[in-house]
Amino acid sequence: MTELLAGLDVSRETIEKLKSLESLLAKWNPAINLVARSTVDAAWSRHILDSAQLFQIAPFRVWADLGSGGGFPGLVIAVLAEGRGSDARVVLVEADQRKATFLREAARGLGVRVQVEAQRIESVDPLAADILSARALAPLSALCGFAARHLAPAGTAIFPKGQNWEAEVAEARKSWKFDLDVRPSLVEAGSVVLVMKAIVHV
């Protein structure tokens, strides 16, 4: 697993910030249920590395993460971007006010800049994001609708999915056209990362 971060050329300081995020998750999760409790002990691989693998898929100036919850992948992306000295903007959309509070407090503690939108995805003004991500949020057909609203015209949507991804793609193609690149997860066998462009309703 450490090979993934080595491949990203991540500094020791950045790794320490990611470790701090892991600790914050363990501290806050009993009260807010940011992620499934069964995954907290494996948070480094299940959430942090799983998020980090998305960082270099495409360049970005604006990254929008929908349904950010515990900050995956959004906060991880913000930490990695800050570690590169990037001034890119990371927007975290989270309607649950308690989770949005966690995201703000975690970002402050980690020393990274994020924009937290504590409202429903459908209510947020279009974000014109270069990259849009969502992890364990909704079926792909619904995610396509969010992407159509919040992606810039040449933007890229990145959706990690589990073993049922092919059925989700088939269902989404009934209502949407899109260019699709399927990449195997570097963290979880059988899972994939769907990289999508040119998402248009039909």
- Per-residue pLDDT reduced to its tens digit, 123-153: 999 999 999 999 989 999 999 999 999 999 9
- CB 104 within 8 Å of CB 117: no
- Angle formed by the axes of helices 140-150 and 165-172, nearest 10°: 60
What is the SS3 assignment for 162? coil
Those residues with Cβ within 8 angstroms of residue 167's Cβ, 6 or more apart along the chain or in another chain: none
Spans of the chain, pLDDT less than 70: 1-2, 6, 40
Tell me how far CA of residue 125 lies from CA of 12, 145, 146, 149, 196, in angstroms: 37, 14, 11, 9, 21
Domains of the chain: 2-201 (3.40.50.150)
Task: Kindly report the pTM of this predicted structure.
Answer: 0.94
Pairwise CA distance, residues 145 & 137, whole Å: 13
Q: Which two tokens stand for residue 39?
A: 């995954």
Q: What residues are designated binding site for S-adenosyl-L-methionine?
A: 67, 72, 121-122, 135
Residue 177: the pLDDT is 98
Q: Which two tokens stand for residue 20?
A: 């701090």
Pairwise CA distance, residues 146 & 66, whole Å: 9
